[in-house]
Amino acid sequence: MDVELAVGRKVKILGLDYRRSEDELIWCSSTMEVSKLFWVDGYLICMEIPEKSFEHEVETGEFIISQLCFTRCSKYERFKPIARGGQIPVVDMSSMKLFQGIAKVLSTHEPST
């Protein structure tokens, strides 16, 4: 059996928005029916990934994220409460290189306070 590691070469984020609070990001994600949020290096992240992104990555080596919203979140928690009475899961992605790279980009696009 031949196993080949084919790491993607590029991630392209088409839309990037900073949210002022966790509540704002969580409410938006719940109304858009996002199934989970991501946490990495003090950021809470919501991403919209088009269905064809995976196919596009195989063909071109470029992974597309159509929209990424983020806010500061110093403490990781497995679930965040949703205003209408539910919870949304949060996945700790701190050990993944892809998300470490995204966090570096976010740190340069965070509005100054």
**Cβ within 8 Å of residue 100, ≥6 positions away:** 40, 41, 94
Range of the domain at 71: 10-108
- Measured CA to CA, the distance from residue 79 to residue 109 in angstroms comes to 26
Q: What is the percent of the chain with per-residue pLDDT over 70, rounded to a whole number?
A: 97
In a domain, 1, yes or no: no
- What count of residues does the chain have? 113
In a domain, 22, yes or no: yes
In a domain, 88, yes or no: yes
Is the distance from CB of 78 to CB of 15 less than 8 angstroms?
Answer: no
Is the distance from CB of 51 to CB of 112 less than 8 angstroms?
Answer: no
pLDDT confidence of residue 74: 94
Q: With 80 as the cut, is the pLDDT of residue 8 above it?
A: no
Select from 53, 74, 60, 63 the least CA-distant residue to 98: 63
Per-residue pLDDT of 13-59, as tens digits, reads: 999 999 999 999 999 998 888 999 999 999 999 999 998 988 888 88
What pTM value is reported for the model? 0.88
In a domain, 87, yes or no: yes
- Measured CA to CA, the distance from residue 58 to residue 2 in angstroms comes to 18
pLDDT confidence of residue 6: 74
Q: How many domains does the chain have?
A: 1
In a domain, 91, yes or no: yes
Is the distance from CB of 68 to CB of 38 less than 8 angstroms?
Answer: no
